[in-house]
Every structure is written in C-alpha cells, then in structure tokens.
C-alpha cells in the first residue's frame, strides 16, 4: 500500500510540475512576451495542458486511487494523506470527463483570446474580441455537458472554483446582499459626499512603485520567493511552490489603483507563500477555493489597507513621499477619501459598498450566456443596461464596460462570484481574528502585521486545499459562510464615515 501511495505521489508531482510550466508561460504572456508570440504560445500551452491532463487521467492513476482507497478509511479525516486521496479522487473524477483534445483546444483558444482581448481593450473594439469569446462560450457549454445531469448549466463552472457550491445557493446569497447593499448605498447618497480630489493629482509611477514595495514588504511578502512586475490586469501566479509572483498596474493621476491593487495581490501571494511545505508538488498545494483565496486578498486590501489603523502607521510615510499632493491633507480626510462611496464603472476601483453589485452584474451575464438567453453579440448592450440599472452609470466605451476584465478571455466563467463570496469570508474571519487577537488594532497602528499573518498561517494558509471551503471556514470560525459579519462591517464602517 505504501509503495502504491509513493508511486501516486510521484505522478502527481510530475503533473504539478507541468502545471507550473504552464503558469510560467502564462505569466510571461501577460508581462514580457512580444505580441507576435501569441500563436506560438497558444500551441505551447496547449501541448502542456494536454500532457498534464493525459498523465493525470491515465489508467495507472485510476488504478492506484482504487487500490489505495482502503487506506483513507484507516486514517483520520484530517490526516494529510487522507486529504490528498480525497482531493485527488475528486479532481480525477472531474478530469476523466474531459478528453485530451478538449483540454488542448481550450488552452489553445484562451491563449490566443487573452492577447486579442488586450488589443481589443486598447482599441475599444469589442468586435475584434467577439468571435474568440463566442468560441469560449461554446467550449464552456460543451464542458458543462460533460457533467450531465446537473441542476443548472452554470453549476459545473462554479464547482471548478467553489467545490460543492450550487448556482442557486450563490443567487440566494446575492439576493440578500443586493437588498442590504442597495439600502446602504441609498442612505449614503443622502449624506454630504466626502472629498477625494487629492487622490486625483499627479503621482509619479516610480514613487508609487516604491511605496507599494515598502508596504507589502512590511505585510510579510517574501521577496526571496517572489517578485512584482507590471501587467494590463493585476494577477498573482505560482510558478513553483517557492516562486509566487504578483503584478500591478499604475495610473499616474490616481493613487489608489496601484496601491490597493498591489496590496490585493500581496494578499493572494501571502496565502500561497504560507502553504505547508509538506504539500509541495501535490494537488493540496493550492487554496481551498477561489472564494477563500479572495478572502485573503480582500482582507488585506480593505479590512487592513483601508482601515484607519493602517494609515496611522503608513500615512506619514506616504506624505513624505508625496508632500506636494498630500502634505496638507490630514489623516481623517485621507481615510474618508480612500473609502469614498460612489458608483463607478471599473470593478477593481469600486468602493466596498458598491463592489458586489459589479459582481452580481457579471454573474447574471455569465448565466445568461451559458443558458443561451443572451448572445455574445448583444453582450455590450446587456452590460450597459445592467450597469445603468445597478449603478446608474453607462460606460462611454466598451473598454470601460464589457472589455474591462480579463477573466472571460482566459475562460474564467464561474470565477466572478468568488470575489463577492471572498468579501463575506474575509469579514467572518476578521471577527474571529479580533476575538482571538484582542489587541489587533494596536498592532496594526504600530505597523506590526505578524500577529495577523500568524493567525492566518495557522488557521487558513498552511492547510492549502486539504478542506472544502465550508469546512475550512467552520474550522476557523465555528460556522459556515455567513453574510452577516460582512453586512455588520459595512454598516459600522460607513455609518461612521458618513454619519448615518
């Protein structure tokens, strides 16, 4: 039995190596690859995807999982090998529904689509991207068909990012959030608006970069196991167990874009850098789910990075770097300014009170595309209609609207709901952390983030993908995912800022 388990781990390590190789090529494509390399890169990624899938779904892996199954019954459910067998079996059962040809085609199509999307957004030309997105939707419908019967055509896509979660469950959570958040936004709209004009001055890029590096270094980002680069859309990518890279982007006349984008991606990276070493080169060397991953990035970005305590420590340094822009702006004004609530066109720049509405919009469009009730050619119009209904805004261009996100170009349908779910988990974890570390606020005011990171390392990071998200959250907080802590957080924070 032990020999068979060892052999299974050897194969899984090779599969992980192939996936890391794909990540290297994907990272390069979004950072340094010349535009003319897109077609070649598509074939390279397709080859690696096919090899990885073929190795993982081989008869040998299936036989090993079958032979080793009794071992899992003899182990405690929390035992690492028991978790490895459980997660590997689940992934194997899903992967064997797909053909090597489909996997290769999906990798090929999305690799090209990402390059086309970037060009289409630059040119504000949705028609350039449309045929590629149509092919992606076709492939995603085909993907869902591999998992019949299902409750909803969107379920198989959602399950890839949130194991076990159903479309109906997400819709029910969003229905609750939508009512509460719309009421909050309306209450805020009736109050005098806070000033944020000082955030829209000229902030030289190099100084922004340097300050961002200072911040995430103090948060705990390990530069010996990572690096930062620029990209059209910020992302985090693990190119190896000890190679976790982030990217950011800049706006010379708007400080928050790079600042909070950098902190957000650092949150993802801290999770990946905190995995237990024993999980290396296994399917457990990953997050529990994308919502849990987003809970980490959103926690560091918002609950930490947009807190008053955080800026008690960092604001004097920011004023020192940008004296002309911020020298005469006091801390309270700055704190209110970075938390200004105002409907906006761009998701990644949205405030906390309106952010989830951006996610709900995208979820509804993805479901409609998968159901066939919306055709890709009508997507820009549908996007604009929902944007006006939810946020009272209409994009002046497709670059500000339907082309603003990279996710559809890499086939990430099912991904967007995880952002909103991540907000919920972040607030739920935060309440528990404040209970377990009662002087947390004081630590943050002193620029001491080790107590927070230590709690996350112990309760979230080290476990990797050992547990499904609901189980992990329950282990950490005592209850499953609950929207109420998030709603309490929003009410308290914005009632203070806007004197509600």
pLDDT tens-digit readout, 78-131: 999 999 999 999 999 999 999 999 999 999 999 999 999 999 999 999 999 999
Q: Are 360 and 420 in contact (CB under 8 A)?
A: yes
Residue 232's pLDDT is what? 85
Long-range contacts of residues 220-225, Cβ cutoff 8 Å, at least 24 apart: 220/270, 220/449, 220/450, 220/453, 221/246, 221/266, 221/269, 221/270, 221/273, 222/273, 225/273
Nearest to 338 by CA among 468, 479, 452, 195: 195
Residues 110 and 202 in one domain: no
- Whether 328 shows a pLDDT value over 90: the answer reads yes
- Whether 352 shows a pLDDT value over 90: the answer reads yes
pLDDT tens-digit readout, 195-251: 999 999 999 999 999 999 999 999 999 999 999 999 988 999 999 999 999 999 999
Secondary structure (3-state) at 193: coil
Residues 79 and 216 in one domain: no
The residues facing 286 across adjacent strands are none
Residue 73's pLDDT is what? 82
- Considering the domain boundaries, does residue 157 fall inside one? no
Domain CATH number, residue 199: 1.10.1370.30
Residue 306 backbone phi and psi in degrees, to 5: -105, 20
Span 8-26, mean pLDDT? 97
Angle at 365 between CA 359 and CA 368, to 5 degrees: 140
- Considering the domain boundaries, does residue 418 fall inside one? yes
Last residue of a domain, one of 104, 123, 142: 123
Domain range enclosing 269: 167-498
Span 463-475, mean pLDDT? 95
- Dihedral (CA of 275, 276, 279, 284) sign: negative
Please give the Cα distance from 377 to 69 (Å, whole number).
48
Question: What integer best gives the mean pLDDT of the chain?
Answer: 96
Residues 100 and 176 in one domain: no
Contacts of 355 (CB under 8 A, 6+ apart): 347, 419, 420, 423
Please give the Cα distance from 314 to 322 (Å, whole number).
12
Q: Which of 118, 265, 294, 366 is catalytic?
A: 265
The residues facing 230 across adjacent strands are 248
Give the number of domains in the chain: 2
Residues 91 and 21 in one domain: yes
Q: Model-level pTM?
A: 0.91
pLDDT tens-digit readout, 147-204: 999 999 999 999 999 988 899 999 998 998 888 988 999 999 999 999 999 999 999 9
| Catalytic residue status for 375 | no
Q: Please identify which residue in the block is written with the tokens 């040809």.
A: 101
**Token pair for residue 380?**
């820009």
Please give the Cα distance from 129 to 298 (Å, whole number).
30
């Amino acid at each position: 039995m032990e020999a068979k388990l060892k052999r299974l781990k050897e194969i899984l390590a090779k599969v992980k190596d192939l996936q890391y190789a794909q990540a290297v090529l994907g990272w390069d494509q979004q950072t340094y690859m010349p535009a003319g390399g897109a077609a070649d890169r598509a074939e390279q990624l397709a080859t690696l995807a096919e090899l990885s899938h073929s190795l993982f779904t081989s008869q040998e892996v299936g036989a090993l999982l079958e032979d080793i199954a009794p071992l899992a019954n003899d182990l405690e459910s929390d035992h690492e090998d028991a978790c490895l067998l459980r997660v590997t079996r689940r992934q194997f059962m899903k992967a064997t529904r797909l053909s090597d040809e489909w996997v290769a085609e999906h990798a090929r199509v999305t690799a090209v689509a990402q390059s086309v999307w970037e060009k289409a957004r630059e040119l504000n030309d949705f028609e350039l991207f449309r045929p590629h997105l149509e092919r992606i939707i076709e492939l995603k419908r085909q993907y869902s068909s591999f998992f019949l019967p299902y409750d909803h055509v969107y379920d198989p896509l959602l399950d890839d990012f949130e194991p076990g979660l159903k479309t109906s469950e997400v819709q029910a959570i969003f229905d609750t959030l939508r009512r509460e958040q719309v009421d909050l936004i309306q209450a805020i709209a009736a109050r005098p608006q806070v000033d944020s004009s000082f955030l829209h001055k000229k902030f030289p890029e190099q100084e922004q970069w340097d300050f961002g590096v200072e911040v995430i270094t103090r948060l705990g980002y390990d530069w010996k196991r990572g690096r930062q680069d620029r990209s059209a859309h910020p992302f985090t990518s693990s190119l190896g167990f000890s190679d976790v890279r982030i990217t950011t982007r800049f706006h010379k006349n708007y400080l928050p874009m790079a600042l909070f984008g950098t902190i957000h991606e650092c949150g993802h990276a801290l999770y990946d850098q905190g995995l237990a070493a024993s999980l290396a080169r296994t399917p457990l060397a990953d997050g529990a789910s994308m919502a849990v991953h987003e809970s980490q990035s959103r926690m560091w970005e918002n609950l930490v990075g947009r807190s008053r305590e955080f800026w008690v420590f960092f604001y004097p340094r920011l004023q020192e770097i940008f004296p002309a822009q911020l020298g005469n702006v006091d801390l309270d004004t700055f704190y209110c300014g970075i938390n200004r609530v105002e409907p906006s066109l761009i998701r990644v720049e949205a405030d906390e009170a309106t952010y989830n509405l951006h996610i709900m919009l995208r979820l509804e469009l993805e479901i409609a595309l998968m159901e066939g009730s919306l055709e890709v050619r009508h997507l820009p119009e549908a996007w604009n209609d929902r944007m006006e209904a939810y946020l009272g805004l209409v994009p002046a261009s497709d670059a500000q609207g339907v082309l603003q996100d990279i996710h559809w170009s890499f086939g990430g349908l099912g991904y967007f709901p995880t952002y909103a779910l991540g907000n919920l988990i972040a607030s739920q974890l935060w309440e528990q952390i404040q209970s377990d570390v009662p002087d947390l606020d004081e630590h943050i005011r002193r620029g001491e983030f080790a107590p927070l990171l230590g709690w996350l390392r112990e309760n979230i990071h080290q476990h990797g993908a050992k547990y499904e998200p609901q189980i992990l959250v329950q282990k950490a907080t005592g209850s499953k995912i609950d929207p109420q802590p998030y709603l309490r957080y929003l009410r308290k924070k914005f009632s203070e800022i806007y004197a509600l």
